[in-house]
Structure 1
Amino acid sequence: MPIQTLEPQRLYRQIAEQLRELIGKGEFAVGARIPAERDLARQLGVSRPSVREALIALEVEGWVEVRTGSGVYVLDRSQRTPPPANGAAGIEWGPLEIIRARRLVEGETAATAAQHGKRKDVDAMRRAIRMMRDMAARNEVPHEGDRAFHLAIVNACDNVVLTETVQGFWESRHGPIFARMIDYFETMESWQAAIGEHELILDAIAARDPAAARSAMHEHMDKFHQRFSASWRRTKAF
């Protein structure tokens, strides 16, 4: 069964499904190494980040094992109970897709916060950044401060739909695929960089500069996306 080209706009779920079919038909035998990410991306006609998400989805479902510094290998599923067709890994939003959505939505919430936010909102953002710095200084992952910062921005917009949308983005981080990507790619070094990016967003909002706030948020999300993508080179697994 030859690998079939996928349309670029298809999500990681379609890539994972085709790889599952190939494994099921024996194209990739138990114990075999899956082709390198760059080769799969070329053969499937999709981006490397989309392949990364698909491989992590297969890892979460127990189809493959990621061996750092070696590659991705097919697992023996003969003794495993097949996951339900509508399992969480099958319907979860793609992490990189979420980041792109956040870029659009939170770029505008930052701009709106710069226009309409009150002093209490800016103070809440400052407290959130202090929390992030304090947690990082204790070598703790500053997720709580990060969440507080982004929610302080959207709360300044005084729009419950936007607030619930941003909260939904944060809830998605608890999904198995996003959580696995966080385990692989987030480091204290990357968090220090992110804290600096948050400070630039805060500076623009405090200065009442909507364009600068939007640009700073876009830059933050672009770098967030790049860190998730570039970190694969460090693992050498793909």
Structure 2
Amino acid sequence: MTAKPSDPRRLYLQIADTLRDLITQPEFVPNGRLPPERALAETLGVSRPSVREALVALELEGLVEIRMGSGVYVCPTPPEPGAAAFSQAELGESLLDIMGARCVIEGAIAGSVAPFCKPKDLKALRGIYSEMVREVRAGRIPVAPDRAFHLAIAQMSGNEVLVRTVASLFDARHSPLSEKLRGHFEDESTWRTTHDEHRAILQALEDHDPIQAQAAMQRHLRHSLERVIAGGQRTGPGVDSP
């Protein structure tokens, strides 16, 4: 049942198509509940994060409902037969792809600017980091200072194309797919774990250490992805029964 590699669309859309067909089979959804996420991934021969993105796409379509800690259920009043599924343009890019691109690009930027960071730029970056900490301690999700932190590092490169690229990738978090994923798995408590990650990036830049700066940035972005899409699998959609 693995999606055909020749299909040019993102993998999560291919998986969503397969699941949409399987959902019509009564034996596949006993009592309206889909098999656990792990079982779906094994059946389809894909990763659990890709299955998770596909399930969120189907939820946006109104076909299933994700109940955190319980499972994924077919909606009692699904979309009208023949209703068109959302396109990739409507849903947004895969968060796996977005964060993968950020790891490569922002990791390289952090490593390249580290030896040349100016004191005034580092002072400004530390101020942004402090604002992020204050927001989290106040129980708020610090999207604005987080964005400013990553853009400030890109701006140290003096390359406006890189700045625009980093901004565009960061802002892709506002696509319907990414917003829904983050709505299920991200809250102010998940941001408390980012303090050390951002501080490590800042420290490496202040030390003018390109290797540690690149490693710290890539580690932070990998962990950010895991918190949203690869983590929480014990309580995420399609939770496996004990």
Give the TM-score, by structure 2 length: 0.87
* Correspondence for 2:141: 141
User: What is the identity, as a one-letter code, of the residue corresponding to 1:150?
Assistant: H
1:82: which partner in 2? 83
Q: Distance in 2 between matches of 1:113 and 1:234?
A: 40
1:7·1:46 contact (CA, 8 Å) conserved in 2?
no
Return 55-64 or 220-229, whichever deviates more.
Answer: 220-229
| Cα deviation, residue 134, structure 1 | 1.1
Is 1:48 paired with 2:45? no
In 2, Cα distance between equivalents of 1:119 and 1:81: 60
**Counterpart of 1:110 in structure 2: which amino acid?**
A
Partner of 1:202: 202
Q: Give the AA of the match of 1:234.
A: T
Which residue of structure 1 lines up, in the alignment, with residue 17 of structure 2? 17
Whether contact under 8 Å (2:154, 2:163) holds in the other structure is yes
CA-to-aligned-CA distance 1:33-58 (integer Å, 9 cap, x gap): 11111111001111111101110111
Identity across matched positions, percent: 40
Look up the equivalent residue of 2:195 and give its one-letter code.
I
C-alpha contact 2:22 2:28 (8 A) present in aligned 1? yes
* 1:166 CA drift (Å): 0.7
User: In the TM superposition, what whole-angstrom CA distance separates every residue of 1:61-109 from its partner, at most 9, and x where no partner exists?
Assistant: 111101223211112325589346536445x111122111111111011
Shift, 1:116, TM fit = 2.9
Distance 1:87 1:98 in 2: 13
Q: Supply the distance in 1 between the matched residues of 2:155 and 2:112 (Cα, whole angstroms).
A: 10
DSSP-derived class of the 2:231 partner: helix
Distance 1:78 1:96, change over 3 A: closer
> How far has the Cα of 1:226 moved from its partner?
2.2
Residue pairs, 1:166-181, within 5 angstroms: 166-181=166-181
- Give the deviation of 1:27 after TM superposition: 6.7
Which structure has more relative contact order (CA 8 Å, sep 6+)? It is 2
* Distance in 1 between residues matched to 2:31 and 2:125, nearest whole Å: 49
1:18 positional shift? 1.3
The code of the aligned residue for 1:105 comes to I
**2:182 maps to what in 1?**
182
TM, length-normalised to structure 1? 0.88
Work out whether residues 36 and 237 of structure 2, in 8 Å CA contact, stay in contact via their aligned partners in 1.
no
Match of 1:115 in 2: 115
Structure 2 residue matching 1:35: 3-state secondary structure: coil
- How far off is 1:25 after superposition? 6.6
Alpha-carbon spacing, 1:137–1:80, altered in 2? closer, same or farther (3 Å)? farther
Unaligned runs of 5+ in 1: none
Q: For residue 129 of structure 2, what is the amino acid of its counterpart? A: I
The one-letter code matched in structure 1 to 2:234 is: R
1:196-235 mapped onto 2 (5 Å cutoff): 196-228=196-228, 229-235=230-236
C-alpha deviation, 1:189, in angstroms: 2.9
Q: CA RMSD in A?
A: 2.5
- 2:39 is matched with 39
- Matched letter for residue 68 of structure 1: M
Shift of 1:231: 1.6
Q: What is the count of residue pairs matched by the alignment?
A: 234
Change (3 A) 1:53 1:149: same
Mark the CA change 1:110 to 1:153 in structure 2 (over 3 Å): closer, same or farther: same
Query: Letter of the aligned partner of 1:233 in structure 2?
Result: R
